[in-house]
């Protein structure tokens, strides 16, 4: 039986983020943004053996991306990869401990039969980044969230991938009219904040033209967005370019808590 490459969105959003990318035999976690018990339960529901996780790659030090990192990595002796700035920030905040095995990723790293490539992202963190995972069979998936604007290096990484999670965090009108305090609204709207639905949608057609058949919208705000609104905004932009759903592309949204189902790519 062929062990197909897959992505499993375990958690996505302001309450926690974590993705499993790999195959049934080996894979990596991108972020560990829920507590250890919740991560264990999500992996079990998804049919992922913790022993198959070769390492954990952390995008940045915000708690919704590393809440369970210290305990999970220590309990199962998993190596942690992150930028130098992220590791420093997590040490300062005691989000990792001396018992955790940590390594700086500068450009790329090899874990088992997989190659993981780092790309910096514009976000209000010490040294945030996103990652592309290349599996043993040469398939590539990228998770690109938590960035105020799309950058050319991230675009190139997505164009060279078979599957991409792209941030569609908020609807601008909902955010501006919503209950968040003004400084928080300004932070989210800034170039170092989070991508909105319209900006995300504007990027998708070019990704599809470059061969990204499978796309997922990630890190949706539960207060300033809805899955339907994010999806409809993206679909409208793709259809305006003459692209047809499930013929030229597939598009889904990552739920705050995943259902355990894998996306084959």
pLDDT number for residue 2: 66
Residue 223, in any domain of the structure: yes
Residue 113, in any domain of the structure: yes
As given in the structure block, the two tokens for residue 114 are 């997989």
| pLDDT, tens digit (0-9, with 9 covering 90-100), for 123-156 | 999 999 999 999 999 999 999 999 999 999 999 9
Which residues form the domain of 38?
Answer: 6-258
Rounded distance between C-alpha atoms, residue 153 and residue 40, angstroms: 33
Could you tell me which residues are beta bridge partners of residue 27?
22, 53
Residue 1, in any domain of the structure: no
Residue 185, in any domain of the structure: yes
pLDDT number for residue 24: 86
Residue 265, in any domain of the structure: no
pLDDT number for residue 212: 86
Q: Which of 184, 188, 175, 108 is nearest to 146 (CA)?
A: 188
pLDDT number for residue 46: 96
Contact yes or no for 228/220 (Cβ under 8 A): no
Rounded distance between C-alpha atoms, residue 204 and residue 251, angstroms: 10
**E strands present in 113-157:** 114-120, 129-134, 140-144
Residue 219, in any domain of the structure: yes
Number of structural domains (the chain) is 1
Q: What is the CATH number of the domain that holds 58?
A: 3.60.15.10
pLDDT number for residue 70: 98
- Across the beta sheet with 214-218, what order do the strands follow? 108-111, 114-120, 129-134, 140-144, 163-167, 214-218, 250-253
Residue 53, in any domain of the structure: yes
- Across the beta sheet with 263-264, what order do the strands follow? 102-104, 79-82, 53-57, 27-30, 18-22, 6-11, 263-264
Residue 205, in any domain of the structure: yes
Can you tell me which residue has the tokens 């062929």? 2
Q: Please tell me whether residue 106 adopts helix, strand or coil conformation.
A: coil
Low-confidence ranges of the chain (pLDDT < 50): none
pLDDT number for residue 1: 57
């Amino acid at each position: 039986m062929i062990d197909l490459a897959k992505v499993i969105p375990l958690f996505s959003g302001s309450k926690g983020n974590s993705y499993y990318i790999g195959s049934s035999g080996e894979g990596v976690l991108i972020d560990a943004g829920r507590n250890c018990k919740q991560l264990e339960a999500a992996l079990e529901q998804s049919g992922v053996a913790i022993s198959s996780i070769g390492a954990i790659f952390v995008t940045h030090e915000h708690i919704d991306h590393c809440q369970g990192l210290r305990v999970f990595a220590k309990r199962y002796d998993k190596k942690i990869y992150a930028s130098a700035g992220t590791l420093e920030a997590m040490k300062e905040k005691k989000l990792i401990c001396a018992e955790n095995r940590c390594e700086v990723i500068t450009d790329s790293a090899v874990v088992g039969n997989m190659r993981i490539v780092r790309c910096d992202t514009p976000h209000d963190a010490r040294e945030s980044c996103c990652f592309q995972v290349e599996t043993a069979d040469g398939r590539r998936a990228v998770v690109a969230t938590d960035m105020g604007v799309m950058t050319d290096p991230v675009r190139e990484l997505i164009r060279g991938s078979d599957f991409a999670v792209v941030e569609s965090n908020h609807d601008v009108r909902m955010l501006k009219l919503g209950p968040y305090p003004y400084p928080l609204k300004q932070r989210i709207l800034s170039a170092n904040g989070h991508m909105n639905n319209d900006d995300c949608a504007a990027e998708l057609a070019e990704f599809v033209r470059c061969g990204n058949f499978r796309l997922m919208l990630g890190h949706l705000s539960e207060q300033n967005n809805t899955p339907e609104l994010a999806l409809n905004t993206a679909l409208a932009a793709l259809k305006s370019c003459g692209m047809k759903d499930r013929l030229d592309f597939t598009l889904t949204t990552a739920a705050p808590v995943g259902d355990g189902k894998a996306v084959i790519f």
